[in-house]
Amino acid sequence: MRHPEALRALLGPDAAPVRRALTDERGVSLPAFVDHHVHLHLVDGERLPLGGVAAVVDLGGDPAILAARPAGALPHVTYAGAFLTTLGGYPAGREWAPPAIVRQITDASSLIGRPGGAATAVDEQRLAGASVIKIVLHHDRPLPEDAVAVIVDTAHASGLAVVAHVEGDGMTRRALDAGVDALAHTPFSEQLDDDLIARAAAAQVWISTLDIHRDDPPAAATARANLRAFRAAGGRVVYGTDLGNGDLPLGVNPRELRALIAAGCDGPALVAALTDPWPVAAPLPAVRTFLRGRPPGLDGETDPVALADWLASARVVPAEDVLFDDDDGEDAHD
């Protein structure tokens, strides 16, 4: 590929023209793609690497099962463990949420070991190897403020980020007031004002999950507008599908990418959202994303839909299978 600068303009600074050692196919290499919101107990996660997803963040599962997963397997899994919610709160009792994946907090105690205690629930997930703590701020029955404060303090003291499921009026503000680090969904149930957007952009990571609203146009429009404003304010958006919630493809979801484009993401922003290593610091070193051929739009007009579909054709390949292309004398590593 003769124009590595054009490639980087279209896909961002990590895009490089490459050749596969095993097959001699030419294409483009990117860091590992991550789906930052999945529920592995509801899907056949082993198939995700075939669909281009090398790593996932499980945001609600059985901590014992997640902890028993073999290290080094693909997809690479980081996880929250159980949902931390209030007594009888979402998602307790839902068909898809067996008791093992929900902890109902009945006591805002910061003493670890107290049954039903907020700190106890955080520590259980930490001991199971969690990288993040997932809490529920659902307007029907949100976690009480004092419990959220203890959860956030306990998690942060252990170096764990807190991600919230936020649903209903005022819940995003509560998450921000409490120091929550990430939202599991782009807010979809209320339009945020400029002040809240600015606060969120300065403090939080938002996981996109736009495509889950494809059959609910008002929620889709609200989420799209919030995401557009959050990005415009400098917010950090990461790609996530809520895989396990309804019928979603086992791999990169082109509809999620198209929804991100409709919310104002260009090619570099899509790639940044797909390759952001959150909640860990660095991308997986052992694998790369390989995309065959030339990206649509490299030589002229960018067709965003075609670009989304091309990105969704990604494959996970071993890092050593990727040979950086310098056959025209240009160093693609720059």
What is the binding site for Zn ion (CB under 5 A)?
Answer: 242
Least distance to Zn ion from the beta carbon of 163, Å? 10
Nearest to 289, CA basis, from 304, 308, 267, 274: 274
Q: Which is nearer to Zn ion, 35 or 242 (CB)?
A: 242
H-helix or E-strand spanning residue 324: strand 322-324
Q: Rounded distance, CA 42 to CA 31, Å?
A: 26
Q: Which is nearer to Zn ion, 62 or 242 (CB)?
A: 242
CA 292, CA 315: separation in Å to the nearest integer? 9
- 3 state DSSP class of 143: coil
For the bound state, the minimum distance from the C-beta of residue 245 to Zn ion, rounded and expressed in Å, comes to 6
Which residue in this structure is represented by tokens 């809520």?
Answer: 242
- Which C-beta is closer to Zn ion: that of 56 or that of 108? 56
Length, in residues, of the chain:
334
| 15/59 with CB nearer Zn ion | 59
CB of 22 vs Zn ion, minimal distance in Å: 36
Q: Are 269 and 302 in contact (CB under 8 A)?
A: no
Minimal distance, residue 179 CB to Zn ion, in Å: 21
Residue closer to Zn ion by CB (options 190, 242) is: 242
C-alpha 237: how far from its chain's center?
A: 8
Instruction: Taking the CA atoms of 267, 254, 185 and 44 in sequence, report the sign of the dihedral they define.
Output: negative
Minimum CB distance to Zn ion, residue 42 (Å): 9
Q: Least CB distance from residue 108 to Zn ion, whole Å?
A: 24
Considering the complex, state which of residue 84 and residue 298 has its C-beta at the smaller distance from Zn ion. Answer: 84
Within 13 A of 64's CA, how many CA atoms are on the CB side?
A: 4
**Of 107 and 242, which has the nearer Cβ to Zn ion?**
242
The closest residue (CB) to Zn ion is 242
Maximum C-alpha span of the chain: 65
Sign of CA dihedral 123, 129, 130, 131: positive
Provide the token pair at 73: 């397997």
Looking at this protein, which amino acid is placed at residue 309?
D
Distance CA 224, CA 265 (A): 11
Which residue lies nearer to Zn ion by CB, 211 or 242? 242
CB of 166 to Zn ion, least distance (A): 12
Query: At how many degrees (to 10) do helices 254-262 and 267-275 cross?
Result: 130
In whole angstroms, the minimum distance from the beta carbon of 36 to Zn ion comes to 11
Distance CA 33, CA 39 (A): 17
